[in-house]
């Protein structure tokens, strides 16, 4: 089976930086995805990591360590619109299935 | 066209009704998915179609019946649902080469009364 853990809730200040962690235990790891989901809306794709290291995309960066079963999503220069749930999801070899973590509800305060 | 389109956006149905959810994409993606999402929970996979064939069924009750008429369309037929089936139903698609990045539709908010 798979076990994917994230903090349930986080709060950060507008203009600051926040790091959202995701740990996973799985066999046949084939990549980790981060999605953003605003309340009542569909998840939207943010990033994908399959090799160790940091992937940067504008204000958002995602990091992966396969040996530690660990990823984080880093959000810089936080804006009020970044208030949302952030979901990490894992794919395994041999199928197209994404298994989602529990999600982290991020609240940005002025 | 980079969208996954779902209809209807909202649906209220009785426990004896039969209804269908529809999903369409024109990105040439060959994998299509149905996910179910309850409030404040992550999406849970229900079905995966790959090249128009059912490749994954996550032990979903038979009152949910998926159908893939062609590579662009995915339906979910609903019959004799229970109130606990009320949820957001999300369709997604992904390309057949490279990482299976799922692109989601806006979902159908289903209420069973």
Structure confidence by residue, pLDDT tens digits, A39-53: 989 999 999 999 999
Q: Residue B66 has what pLDDT?
A: 98
The percent of residues in chain B predicted with pLDDT above 90, rounded, is: 88
Using 50, 70 and 90 to split pLDDT, how confident is the model at B100? confident
Contact in structure between B25 and B96 (CB atoms under 8 Å): no
Going along chain B, which residue ranges are E strands? 4-7, 10-13, 18-25, 31-37, 44-50, 53-57, 64-70, 73-79, 87-94, 103-104, 108-112
Q: Which two tokens stand for residue A26?
A: 């799985």
Chain-centroid distance of CA A40 in Å reads 19
Does residue B81 carry a pLDDT above 90? yes
Distance from CA of A14 to the nearest CA of B (A): 23
Mutating which of A42, A48, A104 best tests the B interface, going by the most B Cβ atoms within 10 A? A42
The mean pLDDT of A67-85, rounded to a whole number, is 97
Q: Is B48 on the interface with A (CB under 8 A)?
A: yes
d(CA A103, CA B46): 18
Q: What does the alpha-carbon distance between residue B95 and residue B44 come to, in Å, rounded to a whole number?
A: 20
The answer to whether residue B83 scores a pLDDT higher than 80 is yes
Whether A84 has its CB under 8 Å from any CB of chain B: the answer is no
User: Is A45–B102 a contact, with Cβ atoms under 8 angstroms apart?
Assistant: yes
Q: Give me the residue label for tokens 């930086």.
A: A17
- For residue B97, pLDDT over 80 is answered with no
Burial of B74 from C-beta contacts in 10 A (0-12 / 13-18 / 19+): buried
C-alpha to C-alpha distance for B80 and B78, rounded to whole angstroms: 7
Q: What is the band of B95 on the pLDDT scale with cuts at 50, 70, 90? A: confident
Q: Do A101 and B42 touch (CB under 8 A)?
A: yes
pLDDT bucket at A93, cuts 50 / 70 / 90: confident
The phi, psi pair for A80, rounded to 5°, reads -60, -35
B98 pLDDT band (50/70/90 cuts)? confident
* Structure confidence at residue B1 (pLDDT): 58
């Amino acid at each position: 089976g798979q076990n994917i853990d994230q903090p349930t809730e986080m709060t950060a200040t507008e203009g600051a930086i926040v790091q959202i962690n995701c740990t996973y235990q799985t066999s046949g790891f084939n990549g980790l995805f981060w999605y953003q989901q605003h309340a009542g809306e569909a998840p939207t794709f943010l990033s994908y990591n399959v090799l160790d290291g940091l992937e940067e995309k504008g204000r958002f960066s995602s990091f992966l360590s396969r040996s530690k079963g660990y990823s984080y999503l880093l959000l810089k220069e936080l804006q009020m619109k970044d208030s949302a749930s952030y979901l990490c999801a894992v794919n395994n070899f041999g199928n197209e299935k994404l298994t989602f973590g529990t999600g982290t509800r991020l609240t940005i305060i002025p | 066209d980079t969208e996954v389109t779902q209809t209807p956006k909202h649906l209220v149905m009785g426990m004896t009704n039969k209804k269908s959810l529809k999903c369409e994409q024109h990105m040439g993606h060959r994998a299509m998915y149905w996910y179910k999402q309850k409030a404040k929970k992550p999406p849970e996979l229900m079905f995966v179609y790959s090249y128009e064939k059912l490749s994954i069924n996550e032990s979903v009750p038979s009152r949910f019946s998926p159908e893939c008429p062609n590579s662009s369309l995915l339906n979910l037929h609903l019959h004799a649902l229970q109130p606990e089936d009320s949820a957001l139903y999300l369709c997604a698609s992904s390309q057949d080469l490279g990482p299976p990045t799922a692109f989601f539709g806006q979902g159908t908010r289903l209420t069973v009364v």
